[in-house]
Chain A
C-alpha cells in the first residue's frame, strides 16, 4: 500500500489479522467508556487492578527498559559498537510507553480527569512520581524520535533545535525511567502485610529498576532477532553476544541482593515452605534468573544465536513472571476472592499489542531505524555461519 509519495506500508494476511484485533479492541474500548469498567472487566473491590495494569502497564514499561539501558550504554558510556541497535531500542521503548499510557487511560474510571495529577501536587504519592516521570519520559522519547523523523521529513531548522537539545534529553531519558521503573516497584510498598514477603521488601524499587535494566539487552536481542527474521536480514550477533556480559553481571548482582534481602528480613526459609507462593518464587528465581546466568556464562552457548536467544527469552519471560507474581500471585492470599481477566480484557490487551507490532513495522519500513546492511556485516560475523539461521 502506498500512502502518498514517501510512505508505504505492506499489507499481508498476518497484518490484516493484527488490524482485525486492533479493530475489536477499539470497539471494546468504546463500549467500556460508555458502560463502565464493570461491564467489560472482571475487576472487583478485592482485585482493583488486573490485566491492564499488571500486564500492559507494568510489563509494557519493563519491556520498554531496552530504551534506557541502551541509551546509557551507547550515549553515555559511548560504547559505539552497540550503535546499530540504538534506534530500534528507542523505537520499541517509545511504542511500549504509548501502549502503557493508553492502557492506563482505559483503566482509570474517571478518565476525563486524567490531567488533574499534573496540577495537584500529590508528592506524597508514589503514583504521582510514576505519572510525572512516565509522561515526561514519553515526551522526551517523542522528541528524541523527532530527531529521526526530521531526517526523513526534511526540515533542517527543527532538526537543529532538536540536535541542540540532545544531551539534556538523553540524560533526562535515563534519569526519568530510572526513577519511575523503581517507583513502579515502590507502588507495592503500601501492600505490606498483604504482598507475600518473598516479594514485598523495602527495596522492591531496586529490584524493579535493576531488572528493567538488565531486561533491556535481552529484549533487544529478542526483538532484533524477530526483526531480522521478518525482514530477511542478518541478526546483529556480535552485538547480542557482547551485550550478554552486561546482562550476566547485572543478573548475578540481582540474585545476590535478592538473597541478602531475604536473609536480612528473616524470610529466606519461606522460599522452601512448599506453599504455592514459594513454588512460584522458586520457578522465578531458578528458571528465569539462575538458568539464564548459567547460559550466559558458558561461551559455547552465548556465542550461538540459539543460545543467546533462548537465554534472552528466559530473561524476558522471567521479568514478566516476576511482575505477575507481584501483582497476582503474591497478593492472592490477602485479597481473597478470585480474579481472571474477562474475554474483553484479553481482547483489548491483544489489540493493544497488535497495534504495537503494526506501528513498529510501519516505522522501520519508513524511517531510518535499523542499521544499513553493510554496517552489520563488519565485526565477527557469527550469524553467517551455516545452520544458525533460526
Chain B
C-alpha cells in the first residue's frame, strides 16, 4: 500500500521538532543559513535542509492569523523528477517514497545534470553546490525507516501536535475530507489530492493555500492536474514514428532528386584557403 502523510496546517505550532529530527536521523550537517532562528526570513530547502517550517501572517481586516507550514518533497504519485532523469536516478517505490538511488540505494548513476531540479513543479531537489562530486538531495520519506524497520518517518514521530499523520494515502485522503466536512473553518481543498497528478503528502488548511506558499494558480489559470510525465510522454511517444517516417521520406526524396541532378566531383570543388593578410 502506498503511504502518505497528512499535514494539518491548523495544528502546527512551529516548534521545528521535525526539522531537528530530520537532520539527526539523516545525519545532515547544521550549517548556518537554512537553519536559524530568524522568524521573518522564509527558510529554503537545500541539500542540508530537507524540510523547513515557514511562518505566514494572514491579515484579514483586524483578524490576524499566524500559520506555520512544513515543507518537504511532496512524493508525487507520478514524479516529474523520476521521469526527467535520463539515468533513472529517482524512483517512486511501491511504499510511496520517491528516493534518489545514488545515496539511498547506492546505485551511483546520476551525472549531476540537474534536469530533475528544472522538472520538479515544487522546486524540491537541491544540489550540493560546494562539492566536487555533488549529489542531488531531498527528503526521502525516511525510506530506510519505513522499509527496514517499519517505523514512521522521523519528522512524524517527533511532531508533538499531531500536525503530521502517517498512513495509507487513500485512508488519509478520506480522513482529510472528513475533517474538512466536519469543520466549516477548513478550506474545501486537499492540496496534493490532484495537483500535478496527485502527491503522497497531503495538506489541509483553514487559510487559502496561496497565502501559505502553495501555488494554486499559475499566470491566471489553476495549476495543472495532469502529471508532468504524462505531458512529456505525449510528445516523446512520437519519436520512433518521426525517426522512421522522416528518415524514409528523406531517403525517397534523395533518390528521386538524384536522378535529375548533375554529378559533381566534390574533390575538385573545394580547396584550403590561403590565409593571406
Q: Is the CB–CB distance between A107 and B270 below 8 Å?
A: no
CA distance A46 to B42 in the complex (A): 14
Q: When the two chains form the complex, which single residue of B129, B232, B261 contacts A126, counting CB atoms closer than 8 Å? A: B232
Q: Is the CB–CB distance between A192 and B250 below 8 Å?
A: no
- When distances are taken between beta carbons in the complex, the residues of chain A under 8 Å from B129 are 36-38, 43-45
The answer to the question of B235 belonging to the interface, with a C-beta cut-off of 8 Å to chain A, is yes
Q: Is the CB–CB distance between A171 and B247 below 8 Å?
A: yes
**Minimum C-beta distance from A88 to chain B (A):** 9
Q: Is the CB–CB distance between A120 and B275 below 8 Å?
A: no
Q: Is the CB–CB distance between A368 and B118 below 8 Å?
A: no
Q: Is the CB–CB distance between A80 and B261 below 8 Å?
A: yes
**Minimum C-beta distance from A18 to chain B (A):** 14
Given A33-B132, A38-B130, A78-B258; A125-B83 close (CB under 8 Å): yes
Contact with B along A268-287 (1 / 0, CB 8 A): 00100000000000000000
**Minimum C-beta distance from A337 to chain B (A):** 9
Contact with B along A346-390 (1 / 0, CB 8 A): 000000000000000100111111111001000000000000000
One of A127-135, A218-226, A299-307 contacting the partner: A127-135
**Minimum C-beta distance from A183 to chain B (A):** 8
CA distance A371 to B274 in the complex (A): 12
Q: Is the CB–CB distance between B272 and A365 below 8 Å?
A: yes
The DSSP consensus for interface residues of chain A is helix
**Minimum C-beta distance from A277 to chain B (A):** 9
- When distances are taken between beta carbons in the complex, the residues of chain A under 8 Å from B264 are 80, 83
- When distances are taken between beta carbons in the complex, the residues of chain B under 8 Å from A43 are 127, 129
The answer to the question of A39 belonging to the interface, with a C-beta cut-off of 8 Å to chain B, is yes
CA distance A39 to B130 in the complex (A): 7
Q: When the two chains form the complex, which single residue of B114, B229, B254 contacts A167, counting CB atoms closer than 8 Å? A: B254
CA distance A37 to B129 in the complex (A): 6
The answer to the question of B223 belonging to the interface, with a C-beta cut-off of 8 Å to chain A, is yes
Q: Is the CB–CB distance between B86 and A125 below 8 Å?
A: yes
- When distances are taken between beta carbons in the complex, the residues of chain A under 8 Å from B254 are 75-76, 78, 167, 170-171
> Which residues from 209 to 250 on chain B have a C-beta closer than 8 Å to any C-beta of chain A?
215, 218-219, 223-224, 228-229, 231-236, 239, 242-243, 246-247, 250
Please name the residue on chain B nearest to A71 by beta carbon: B250
Q: Is the CB–CB distance between B231 and A193 below 8 Å?
A: no
Q: When the two chains form the complex, which single residue of A45, A172, A227, A367 contacts B127, counting CB atoms closer than 8 Å? A: A45
CA distance A113 to B107 in the complex (A): 11
Q: Is the CB–CB distance between A48 and B111 below 8 Å?
A: no
**Minimum C-beta distance from A324 to chain B (A):** 16
CA distance A75 to B253 in the complex (A): 10
CA distance A202 to B230 in the complex (A): 12
Q: When the two chains form the complex, which single residue of B115, B134, B219, B266 contacts A36, counting CB atoms closer than 8 Å? A: B134
One of A174-182, A248-256, A290-298, A312-320 contacting the partner: A174-182
The answer to the question of B173 belonging to the interface, with a C-beta cut-off of 8 Å to chain A, is no
Number of chain B residues close to chain A: CB under 8 A: 73
- When distances are taken between beta carbons in the complex, the residues of chain B under 8 Å from A193 are 121, 215, 218-219, 223-224
CA distance A79 to B133 in the complex (A): 50
Please name the residue on chain B nearest to A190 by beta carbon: B119
- When distances are taken between beta carbons in the complex, the residues of chain A under 8 Å from B270 are 87, 148, 368-372
The answer to the question of A26 belonging to the interface, with a C-beta cut-off of 8 Å to chain B, is no
CA distance A338 to B156 in the complex (A): 34
- When distances are taken between beta carbons in the complex, the residues of chain B under 8 Å from A78 are 254, 257-258, 260-261
- When distances are taken between beta carbons in the complex, the residues of chain A under 8 Å from B223 are 193
**Minimum C-beta distance from A122 to chain B (A):** 4
- When distances are taken between beta carbons in the complex, the residues of chain B under 8 Å from A72 are 250
- When distances are taken between beta carbons in the complex, the residues of chain B under 8 Å from A334 are 218
CA distance A174 to B261 in the complex (A): 20
Given A39-B130, A84-B269, A108-B113; A189-B235 close (CB under 8 Å): yes
The answer to the question of B88 belonging to the interface, with a C-beta cut-off of 8 Å to chain A, is yes
Q: Is the CB–CB distance between B123 and A46 below 8 Å?
A: yes
Q: Is the CB–CB distance between B219 and A270 below 8 Å?
A: yes
Q: Is the CB–CB distance between B253 and A129 below 8 Å?
A: no
- When distances are taken between beta carbons in the complex, the residues of chain A under 8 Å from B243 are 175, 179
Please name the residue on chain A nearest to B276 by beta carbon: A232
The answer to the question of B11 belonging to the interface, with a C-beta cut-off of 8 Å to chain A, is no
**Minimum C-beta distance from A106 to chain B (A):** 11
Q: Is the CB–CB distance between A127 and B115 below 8 Å?
A: yes
The answer to the question of A5 belonging to the interface, with a C-beta cut-off of 8 Å to chain B, is no
> Which residues from 34 to 52 on chain A have a C-beta closer than 8 Å to any C-beta of chain B?
34-39, 43-46, 48-49
The answer to the question of B44 belonging to the interface, with a C-beta cut-off of 8 Å to chain A, is yes
Q: When the two chains form the complex, which single residue of A205, A231, A372 contacts B269, counting CB atoms closer than 8 Å? A: A372
- Complex A-B: 26 CB contacts under 8 Å: A10-B277, A37-B129, A45-B127, A72-B250, A76-B254, A83-B264, A83-B266, A110-B111, A111-B112, A112-B133, A113-B109, A113-B112, A120-B109, A124-B232, A125-B232, A126-B235, A127-B115, A148-B270, A167-B251, A187-B115, A192-B121, A192-B228, A205-B235, A231-B276, A232-B276, A368-B269
B interface residues, Cβ below 8 angstroms from A:
44-46, 80, 83-88, 108-115, 117-119, 121, 123, 126-135, 215, 218-219, 223-224, 228-229, 231-236, 239, 242-243, 246-247, 250-251, 253-254, 257-258, 260-262, 264, 266-277
In the A-B complex, the 5 residue pairs with the smallest Cβ-Cβ separation, listed nearest first, are A109-B112, A38-B129, A193-B218, A368-B270, A128-B86
